[in-house]
Chain A
Amino acid sequence: MHRVSRPNLSGVLINAAALVLVLSYALPYIYLLMTSIKPAADVQQIPPSFFPAVISFENFREVLQSSTLPKAFINSLTVAVLTTALSLMVAVPAAYVATQYRRRITTFFLLFALVTRMVPSVSLGVPLFQLLKSMGLLDTLPGLVLAHTSAAVPLALLLMSAFFEGVPKELEEAARMDGCTRFEAFRKIILPIMTGGIAVTALFTFITSWNEFLYALLLTSESTKTAPIVIAEYNSVYGLAWGAMTAAAVLYSLPVIIVTLALQKQIVGGLTFGAVKG
């Protein structure tokens, strides 16, 4: 370590404490990665070891060749993509007028979205079950998309409102001077400069749907199960197949971690922004 300034005691202590803290938070996930590449038999050895004695991809082969997990991943992906598309389509225009055309109805609307974020999923899940059943959408992917959209739209609204707040009203006015209608100004001038904010919002809505568990548990069975449901079932159906379960958990979580790490700067901004605003 090259330290330019002279090393003082408190500086060393702070660095050491930060290192211990960061390592202790990273260790559990590293242990998950390590366990997933152990041979299935070694996963449940007593006493457990942190590092694998031999590296094996047996657990990954097992879950990828199973009849359930690949299908569940496709279901999860389909639902998350459709949820994201639907949520952005309705939330982006609404967030725009809610921030640029402030009036009683738009303030009330944003407040409603904020309050919606406080509704426990289980309270909404009970009547959504009946609603989807009466629409014939119970146990279908479009049904689950609607359920996830109920949670994703308020999130997208609050995030997009935070992003639109930085857009000056003069931008639309200038476009209208040039002969655009209000809608054209929104579509041709405003949307193109908002791609960064829209991308972050899209990622957040995608992750909301990808991670969602309770609605999927309540509203799907057999052929429409999503990944978290199938992974959770390794608990009961196959006894305690820890090896397969860790491999499935890695496959399910690692892509999201890599994408978010790659976009880290924007995301942390969006996250804290969204939290403080709503």
Chain B
Amino acid sequence: MSDEDRFVLCMLAPAVAILGLLVAYPVGLLIFDSFFKVETITPHIREWVGLQNYIDALTSKRVAESALRTLQYSVFALFFEFTFGFCAALLFSAMVGQSRWHRTIFALPLMVPPIVAGLLWRFLLVGNIGILNYGLVQLGLISDPNEIAWLSSEDIVIYSVSFADIWLTTSFVALVSYAGLTNIPKDLLEAARIDGANALKRFWHVTLPLMRPVIAVVVIVRGVDAAKTFDLIWIQTQGGPRHASEVFSMNIYQRMVRFGDLGEASASGTLFLLVMMVLAGIAYWKIWRPVHA
């Protein structure tokens, strides 16, 4: 081994050891446990059950419903975060250099801990004292402040809990998009303008295609994060009413903590991990490789 190789290995070793102990080994343990019947109360009793935990998870109605809700939540949150964030970025870049304070204030939610954002939005939406409905009455949008039960109606709760997520991360989308927009060469837009393209056409044929990689990053990073959400929803509803806002990560947590079913929690956790790995794979092919090619 050369001197150079030895140096590389020495510098890399502590990080490899930490990630090995705290990520690779636990993931191995997770997969291993998923083939056994294990309970948190008596973890020494292990019974090999093969794929039974997976069959149970994949045929459980509650698991399927929580997976569907995760999708509803992620798509809804991502759609609005992206729309609002991208529009904000377009506005800021249209202000040419006058948007510094706007961007600073707009970035504020980004620094708020998720748990605080969740509590705050619960406080804004909660029945009787939630100020949002009183605001909607003032604006004439609804007639009675108790008309919309944001967090206690089973039909809408999964969307209501995403307001906090949208509020918290729109600015991330806006900042990343703004950075992307400022990198678009001005002469390109100018050339399009001279060629007679109107603002809409310039946006569609110049701005949007050049922003494609940035949009891909935002959608994948935020999409994966939204699908993993636990704390924001937990603090608002603890998954209620009657599981109507129980997302997949919460379902795994409940199996593990409330029912002590380590085996089934591990099987669901492994499935969750696999889905995220597929998304990570897409991220690798679409984003990481072009950057390093």
Residues of A within 8 A of B (CB): 14-15, 17-19, 21-22, 25-26, 28-29, 31-32, 35, 43-48, 50, 86, 89-91, 93-94, 96-98, 101, 103, 105-106, 109, 111-131, 133, 146-147, 149-150, 153-154, 157, 182-183, 186, 207, 210-211, 213-214, 218, 228, 231-232, 235, 242, 245-246, 249, 252-253, 256-257, 260-261, 264, 268, 271-272, 275-278
Contact A253–B279 (Cβ < 8 Å): no
Check A120/B8 contact, CB under 8 A, given A29-B109, A50-B131, A276-B214: no
Q: How far is the CB of B166 from chain A (nearest CB, A)?
A: 10
Contact B7–A46 (Cβ < 8 Å): no
Interfacial chain A residues near B280, Cβ < 8 Å:
114-115, 117-118
Contact A26–B30 (Cβ < 8 Å): no
Interfacial chain A residues near B277, Cβ < 8 Å:
115, 118
Contact A122–B30 (Cβ < 8 Å): no
8 residue pairs, one from A and one from B, having the closest CB atoms: A94-B15, A150-B22, A127-B26, A123-B269, A213-B231, A127-B29, A118-B280, A93-B11
Contact with A along B93-105 (1 / 0, CB 8 A): 0110011001011
Contact A118–B265 (Cβ < 8 Å): no
Interfacial chain B residues near A242, Cβ < 8 Å:
123, 129
State whether the Cβ of B189 lies closer than 8 Å to any Cβ in chain A: no
State whether the Cβ of B76 lies closer than 8 Å to any Cβ in chain A: no
B window 103-128: CB within 8 A of A: 104-116, 119-121, 123-124, 128
Complexed CA–CA distance, A149 and B234 (Å):
23
User: Residue B113 contacts which of A43, A103, A115, A211 (CB distance < 8 angstroms)?
Assistant: A211
Complexed CA–CA distance, A238 and B82 (Å):
38
Contact B179–A96 (Cβ < 8 Å): no
Given contacts A21-B102, A114-B284, A275-B218, 14 further A-B contacts (CB under 8 A): A19-B102, A21-B84, A44-B129, A106-B8, A120-B272, A122-B230, A122-B253, A123-B30, A153-B22, A211-B114, A249-B115, A252-B115, A252-B116, A275-B217
State whether the Cβ of B256 lies closer than 8 Å to any Cβ in chain A: yes
State whether the Cβ of B149 lies closer than 8 Å to any Cβ in chain A: no
Contact B95–A116 (Cβ < 8 Å): no
Contact with A along B242-259 (1 / 0, CB 8 A): 000000010011001100
What are 12 pairs between A and B in contact, CB < 8 Å?
A: A14-B95, A45-B129, A120-B273, A121-B249, A122-B228, A122-B272, A127-B25, A182-B7, A232-B235, A245-B123, A249-B120, A268-B107
Complexed CA–CA distance, A31 and B109 (Å):
13
Complexed CA–CA distance, A121 and B276 (Å):
11
Complexed CA–CA distance, A257 and B265 (Å):
36
Contact A18–B91 (Cβ < 8 Å): yes
Give A234's nearest chain B residue, CB to CB: B119
User: Residue B167 contacts which of A25, A211, A245 (CB distance < 8 angstroms)?
Assistant: A25
Chain B: interface size category:
35 or more
Contact B18–A26 (Cβ < 8 Å): no
Complexed CA–CA distance, A133 and B29 (Å):
13
Check A126/B269 contact, CB under 8 A, given A231-B115, A272-B175: yes
Interfacial chain B residues near A210, Cβ < 8 Å:
113
Contact B124–A90 (Cβ < 8 Å): no
Give A131's nearest chain B residue, CB to CB: B26
Complexed CA–CA distance, A48 and B234 (Å):
25
Interfacial chain B residues near A261, Cβ < 8 Å:
104, 108, 111
Give B131's nearest chain A residue, CB to CB: A48
Contact B167–A28 (Cβ < 8 Å): yes
Give B167's nearest chain A residue, CB to CB: A28
Contact A14–B94 (Cβ < 8 Å): yes
Contact B109–A214 (Cβ < 8 Å): no
Give A147's nearest chain B residue, CB to CB: B22
Complexed CA–CA distance, A130 and B231 (Å):
21
Contact B113–A124 (Cβ < 8 Å): no
Contact A90–B113 (Cβ < 8 Å): no
Contact A28–B27 (Cβ < 8 Å): no
Contact B23–A150 (Cβ < 8 Å): yes
Give A257's nearest chain B residue, CB to CB: B111
Interfacial chain A residues near B270, Cβ < 8 Å:
123
Check A29/B107 contact, CB under 8 A, given A97-B7, A101-B8, A126-B265: no
